[in-house]
Structure 1
Amino acid sequence: MRVMVLVKATEDSEKGYRPSPETDAMMAAMGRFNDELRDAGILVMADGLTPSSQGRRVAFDGAERTVINGPFPQPRELVAGFWLWDVKDMDEAVAWVKRCPNPMPGPSEIEIRPFHELE
């Protein structure tokens, strides 16, 4: 079963990456976690995203297309990074997420979404 694991953005992540002893330690812990995922054969892909201030949205309304420049409101509804995993089931994905180091300073959230599997 393939899942996308979404690290939700925070107000801090929307400010952009800033090296500090705390962020360096967080990145090192996340690197070790990614190594574990890779060693277990679960990790397909992983990456972090830049703040939404560097992004664009394209809104569709019939034939009309409107480009909206970031930053976008409600950081906790945005995605700061992601993994693609190949797991047995959602229970395995949840177990791995529970082992994950906190990806952000302070409170944060990770969402797990399965891909549609074509029969």
Structure 2
Amino acid sequence: MFIATAVLSLLLALAFAGAGFPKLSGKDDMAAQLSRLGVSAGLMRVIGALEILGAVGLIAGLWIEVLGVAAATGLALLMAGAVASHIKARDTAKHTLPSLVLLILSATALGLGLAG
């Protein structure tokens, strides 16, 4: 089970780091995308920082389980909020699906962490 947890954690960490850095740096195209959902520039940076911290927590969780569980929980909650924001904004399925997939994968990592 550790191998599945490690692979999923590493892939999620890459995905969230890749999504977090453009938000944290305040990229204009990212700000434009998120403004459609009613996310301010300041909140965008907070979300980016949380995604990066979550990615670090997933990696650290390979050695300290409680950190991995906490990171997976936080990222699942963050993605639940993202899905809710997309739905509230009546966004297309194409734009909502990535957040939904990351929510499911984060919840899976959480389940694996709790089972381990």
TM exceeding 0.5 = no
CA radius of gyration, larger in:
1
The structure with the greater share of residues assigned to helix is 2
TM-score w.r.t. structure 1 length?
0.30
Higher relative contact order (CA 8 A, sep 6+): 1
Q: Which has the higher strand share?
A: 1
